């Protein structure tokens, strides 16, 4: 999937994937990861999610990664914050108190540029990527975060009935991608009322990924 696909989505305002409310799975299950007070939470492919405001309001620090500078600018505007902007290699860094967003290609992010991470919240990153990219994504995510504990949200539906994103990612694939480093726990699943995008029956699942102690 080309970067231009996402740039065009934001430029056209085609952001149906952007939720106007805090994700209920986040509120209900994130603390089961036992993140430390003031911990630094990483949100890959974060867009302008309102979930960032929830983390900040609950005393966490946030690190994010996002391809679209338009999305990042809208995020800071909606938060009422003016960021400091600097260049970090191929990336652009947007920094404010307790908030640090890297703009650019996710695969250009290194562990050094990201910094230490206490936990990961993936609501819309893995499911935004086609199957051909998900292995590369998950491997890189584990590498740059030292496999920090993770709350992962997935959808499962008949992919032949609707194209993604969000794509269908079933339990077997989650295990294939992450069982090498994590103990996986299905925290909750629910049927999406009216179907995903109002088109296809779908189940939404919250996964808790606990790092396996070596």
CB 92 within 8 A of CB 85: yes
Residue 207 in marked binding region: no
Place of tokens 């960021």: 83
Residue 10 in marked binding region: yes
Q: Regarding beta strands 150-156 and 182-191, do their DSSP bridges make them parallel or antiparallel, or are they unpaired? A: unpaired
Residue 57 tokens read as 């309001």
Residue 45 in marked binding region: yes
Report CA torsion sign: 68, 122, 196, 20: negative
CA 205 to chain centre: 14
Q: Which of 38, 30, 44, 21 is nearest to 142 (CA)?
A: 44
> Half-sphere exposure of 149 toward its Cβ, with a 13 Å CA cutoff?
17
- Show binding-site residues: 10, 45, 66, 123
Residues flagged as binding site for S-adenosyl-L-methionine:
10, 45, 66, 123
């Amino acid at each position: 999937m080309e970067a231009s696909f996402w740039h065009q989505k934001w430029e056209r305002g085609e952001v149906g994937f952007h939720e106007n409310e805090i994700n209920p799975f986040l509120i209900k299950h994130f603390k089961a990861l036992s993140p430390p007070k003031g911990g630094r939470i990483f949100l890959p492919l974060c867009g302008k999610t309102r979930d960032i405001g929830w983390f900040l309001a609950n005393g966490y620090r946030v690190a994010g990664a996002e391809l679209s500078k338009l999305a990042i600018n809208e995020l800071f505007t909606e938060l009422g914050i003016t960021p400091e902007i600097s260049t970090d290699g191929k990336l652009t860094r947007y920094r404010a108190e307790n908030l640090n967003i890297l703009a650019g290609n996710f695969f250009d992010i290194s562990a050094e540029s990201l910094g230490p991470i206490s936990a990961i919240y993936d609501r819309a990153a893995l499911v935004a990527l086609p199957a051909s990219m998900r292995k590369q994504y998950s491997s890189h995510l584990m590498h740059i975060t030292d496999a920090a504990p993770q709350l992962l949200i997935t959808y499962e539906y008949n992919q032949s009935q609707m194209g993604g994103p969000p794509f269908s990612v079933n339990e077997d694939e989650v295990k294939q991608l992450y069982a090498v480093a994590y103990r996986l726990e299905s925290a909750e699943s629910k049927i999406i009322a009216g179907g995903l995008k109002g088109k296809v029956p779908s189940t939404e699942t919250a996964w808790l990924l606990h790092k396996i102690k070596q």
